[in-house]
Amino acid sequence: MDDNVSGVVWALRETIGRKTLSQLDVDARDGLVGWTHSFYNGFEIWWLAGMPIMLVFVLTLLSFSLASGVSGLGKSVNWRSVLPKPAQRVYAWLSIPRHIAVIMDGNRRYGKTKYGAGVRGHSDGSKTLVNFTDWCIDAGIEALTVFAFSTENWNREQAEVDALMSLFNQFMHEIVPEALKRDVRIRVLVSDGRRLPAYIVEAIEQIESQTAHCSAFCLNLCVSYGARDEIVRACKKIATEVVSGETKIDDIDEELLSRHMLTAGLPDPDILIRTSGELRISNFLLFQIAYSELMFLDKLWPEVTQDDVQRVIVEFNRRKRRFGK
């Protein structure tokens, strides 16, 4: 225990202890009354000294990861299972978000800093995505939607775009076996697929069909995606339905538009996380995050750890969601 903390606790116990002893000297003459006071003072000592210490202990456990070094989907340890019983009960009181969305920013900067090559940062970022998915599953979260490649990213240098497509193709093929083991459904959300290479389109079809029956968790990968494109696409579909007589103009509302979004069938994200310290939404899920809690992490995406997931959940519970009320 820290010397300052132990000193405060010692002084508190000394003060309360002297008060308790003086009261016992007086109350001893009254028999039962003295016993009652001793019981009360004992409880008082526990409440003032013991309870704060226990709370500090529990909160410390919640703030540090007890399961480390996850190398692949399905290989992590549920950190809650190794907490002491009191800490497990405290964690049980927390409200777990159903759906988290993440802007995985900072891969290039990480690669340039660590390896001198931005592209290598994307490889580390894909490993973090696997780990992050595991941590979400362990925490009880139902869905994760990540911004993997935006429509604006096509404007980057062709060598980097080619490397990203190759890495994405490798990722999709390697994650399928573990996804099937953990009953994870993988969906690839594309708002504009005109520039996607044929081998990527084929890989997307394969991974979605192979995991379509999975239902324990949903991982959504936004690729060649832009929120404005998504909204325009949904509006065009609705307009086509109106022209064909399938839908009436009076039937158009938020719920109908939601059913035409790429995330149809999923709850809107409870939390939107962006890494790298940037404070922007960057054309990501503009319709779906209307009431999401926004959290910005001042670290690059490959640097994210399980501690960060735990802190996000605690912060989510600290906030009061009013939904405009």
Output the 3-class SS for 241-297: HHHHCCCCHHHCCHHHHHHCCCCCCCCCCCEEEECCCCCCCCCCCCCCCCCCEEEEC
Q: Based on the residue annotation, tell me whether 131 is a catalytic residue of this protein.
A: no
Known active-site residue 317: no
Cα 287 to chain center, whole Å? Answer: 19
Q: Which amino acid is at 271?
A: I
Contact 225, 152 (CB under 8 A): no
Angle between helices 158-181 and 198-210 (to 10 degrees): 10
- Choosing from 3, 4, 25, 105, the catalytic residue is 105
Q: How far apart are CA 211 and CA 184, in angstroms?
A: 7
Name residues whose C-beta falls within 8 Å of residue 122's C-beta, 6 or more positions apart in sequence: 107, 108, 111, 163, 164, 167
- Determine which one of 27, 78, 153, 192 is catalytic: 153
**CA distance linking residue 239 with residue 222, whole number of Å:** 24
Question: What is the rounded distance in angstroms from the CA atom of residue 26 to the CA atom of residue 12?
Answer: 22
Of 213, 234, 225, 257, the closest CA to residue 145 belongs to 225
Q: What span, in angstroms and rounded, lies between the C-alpha atoms of 205 and 8?
A: 63
Dihedral sign computed on CA atoms, order 307, 103, 128, 137:
positive
CB of 20 within 8 A of CB of 41? yes
Q: Are 293 and 270 in contact (CB under 8 A)?
A: yes
Question: Which are the catalytic amino acids?
Answer: 105, 153
